[in-house]
C-alpha cells in the first residue's frame, strides 16, 4: 500500500486543482506552465502513488472523483494559506526595495499613469514595477498583484485603499464638425451619429444614458475599450462620451455638454490589509495619492466641483 502522506507534494496538489478547474489536460497544462504530456504523466503517477483514481475521463472532459474533488478543495485552502503567509511576510519587510506588482487598465496607464510611474521609479530606484493590464480586478488576496488602481464605484470589500479623485465623463465631438462649439439646442445632439462602449459595459452610466436616450440605429460604432473612444471621435465617426482626462488633452475635440457627477466613477488606490504596512506598498500608495491629487482638475473635468470628492471611505488607509 503506497504511503500517500509522504508521496504527495505541493506541486501535485496544484496540478490536481488545475485539472479540476480546467476540466482538460491541455488547459490545465497552460494554467500551470507545463506541457500536456507532462501533466498526463504526472497525473498517472499521483493516482498510482495514492492508490485511487482522482478523475473520471468523459467525452466532456476530466470530472473529479470524490477523492479528486477533496484534493482540489484542499489545494485551494493550501494556496490561500500560502498566499496569506507571503503577504504577511511582505508586510513586515524593512526596506522599500524589490518588485511591486500593480494592476490597472490600459486607458489609465497610457493616458495618465505612465509618467507618474516613471517619476516614482526615479525617486525609488530600488523598487521595480511589474504592471499588469486588465479590466477585471486581479485577486490581491492571492498576490496576483500588490496594488490595484481602478475606477470603480464599488471597490472589493476585502481590500483597503483610498479614493483619490473622480473620473469625469463629458460628451465630445470633433472640433471641425462643431466650429461654434456646443449647439444651443442640446436636443440636436441626439440626432447625431454616436460612438460608445459596447452593451457589455452597461454598468457604465454613460452607456446606460446612450441605451436609454439614443436610438439604436444612431450608435454606429461600439468598442470594448475606453482607450479607443477618443480616436473614434477624432476620426469623425461620431460623437460620444469620453473621460475628461483623455479628451481635454486633445485640441481636435470639443465639449458638447459639461461633465455631470452622475456619470463619474471614483478612482481608487487599493491593496490587501496584510500589505498596508509594507514599505514598498506604503511608499507607492503615498506617492501616487499625492501625484494623482494634483491631477484632480484634469480627471474630474475642471468644473465638477464635488465637495465630498476627498471624503474618506470606511476602508481608507
Residue range 207-234, pLDDT digits in tens: 998 999 999 999 999 999 898 999 999 9
Q: What is the pLDDT of the chain when averaged over all its residues? A: 84
Least confident of 3-7, 61-65, 73-77, 100-104: 3-7
Across the range 286-300, mean pLDDT stands at 94
- Please say if the pLDDT value at position 5 is more than 50: no
- Give me the percent of the chain exceeding a pLDDT of 70: 86
**Does the predicted model carry a pTM greater than 0.85?**
no
Q: Over 70: is that where the pLDDT of 254 sits?
A: yes
What nine digits make up the cell of 72?
482540489
Cα 203 from chain centroid (whole Å): 15
Higher pLDDT, 123 or 307: 123
Residue bearing the bigger pLDDT, 126 or 85: 126
* Residue 244 Cα to chain centre, angstroms: 20
Q: What is the pLDDT of residue 103?
A: 92
Band (119; pLDDT cuts 50, 70, 90): very high
Asked if residue 95 has pLDDT above 50, the reply is yes
Given this model, what pLDDT does residue 135 score? 61
Task: Give the span between the Cα atoms of 258 and 93, in whole angstroms.
Answer: 47
Is residue 305 very low, low, confident or very high in pLDDT (cuts 50, 70, 90)? very low
pLDDT at 191: 87
Q: What percent of the chain has pLDDT over 90?
A: 41
Question: Which tens digit of pLDDT belongs to each residue from 66-75?
Answer: 998 889 888 8
Per residue in 168-208, pLDDT (tens digit) is 999 999 999 999 888 878 888 888 999 999 999 888 889 99
Long-range contacts of 18-26 (CB under 8 A, 24+ apart): 19/43, 19/55, 19/62, 19/64, 19/68, 20/55, 20/62, 20/64, 20/68, 20/69, 20/72, 21/72, 23/60, 23/61, 23/62, 23/63, 24/61, 24/62, 25/62
Instruction: Report CA 154 to chain centroid distance, whole Å.
Output: 13
**How far apart are the C-alpha atoms of 56 and 285, rounded to whole Å?**
48
Express each pLDDT in 48-89 by its tens digit. Answer: 888 888 998 888 789 889 998 889 888 888 877 777 676 666
278-305: average pLDDT: 86
Residue 89 has a pLDDT of 63
For the residues 140-145, what does the mean pLDDT come to?
A: 61
Which of 14-23, 90-99, 140-149 has the largest mean confidence?
A: 14-23
Does residue 306 have a pLDDT over 80? no
Q: Give Cβ neighbours of residue 268 (< 8 Å, ≥ 6 apart).
A: 148, 149, 150, 151, 152, 155, 161, 162, 163, 164
Please check the confidence at residue 314 and state whether its pLDDT lies above 70. Answer: no
Amino acid at each position: 500500500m503506497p504511503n500517500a502522506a509522504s508521496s504527495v507534494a505541493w506541486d501535485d496538489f496544484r496540478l490536481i486543482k488545475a485539472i479540476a478547474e480546467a476540466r482538460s489536460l491541455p488547459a490545465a497544462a497552460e494554467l500551470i506552465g507545463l506541457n500536456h504530456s507532462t501533466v498526463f504523466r504526472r497525473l498517472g503517477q499521483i493516482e498510482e502513488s495514492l492508490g485511487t483514481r482522482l478523475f473520471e475521463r468523459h467525452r466532456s472532459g476530466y470530472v473529479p472523483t470524490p477523492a479528486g474533488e477533496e484534493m482540489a478543495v484542499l489545494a485551494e485552502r493550501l494556496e490561500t494559506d500560502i498566499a496569506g503567509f507571503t503577504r504577511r511576510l511582505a508586510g513586515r519587510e524593512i526596506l522599500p526595495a524589490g518588485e511591486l506588482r500593480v494592476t490597472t487598465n490600459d486607458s489609465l496607464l497610457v493616458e495618465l499613469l505612465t509618467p507618474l510611474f516613471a517619476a516614482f521609479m526615479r525617486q525609488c530606484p530600488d523598487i521595480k514595477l511589474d504592471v499588469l493590464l486588465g479590466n477585471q480586478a486581479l485577486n490581491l488576496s492571492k498576490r496576483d498583484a500588490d496594488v490595484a488602481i481602478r475606477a470603480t464605484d464599488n471597490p472589493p470589500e476585502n481590500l483597503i485603499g483610498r479614493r483619490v479623485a473622480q473620473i469625469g465623463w463629458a460628451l465630445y465631438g470633433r472640433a471641425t464638425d462643431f466650429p461654434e462649439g456646443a449647439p444651443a439646442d442640446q436636443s440636436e445632439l441626439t440626432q447625431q451619429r454616436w460612438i460608445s462602449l459596447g452593451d457589455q459595459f452597461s454598468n457604465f452610466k454613460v452607456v446606460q444614458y446612450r441605451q436609454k436616450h439614443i436610438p439604436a440605429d444612431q450608435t454606429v460604432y461600439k468598442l470594448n475599450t475606453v482607450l479607443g473612444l477618443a480616436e473614434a471621435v477624432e476620426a469623425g465617426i461620431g460623437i460620444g462620451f469620453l473621460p475628461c482626462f483623455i479628451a481635454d488633452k486633445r485640441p481636435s475635440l470639443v465639449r458638447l455638454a459639461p461633465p455631470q457627477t452622475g456619470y463619474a466613477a471614483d478612482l481608487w488606490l487599493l491593496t490587501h490589509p496584510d500589505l498596508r504596512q509594507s514599505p514598498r506598498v506604503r511608499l507607492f500608495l503615498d506617492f501616487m495619492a499625492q501625484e494623482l491629487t494634483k491631477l484632480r482638475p484634469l480627471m474630474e473635468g475642471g468644473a465638477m466641483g464635488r465637495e465630498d470628492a476627498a471624503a474618506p471611505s470606511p476602508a481608507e488607509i
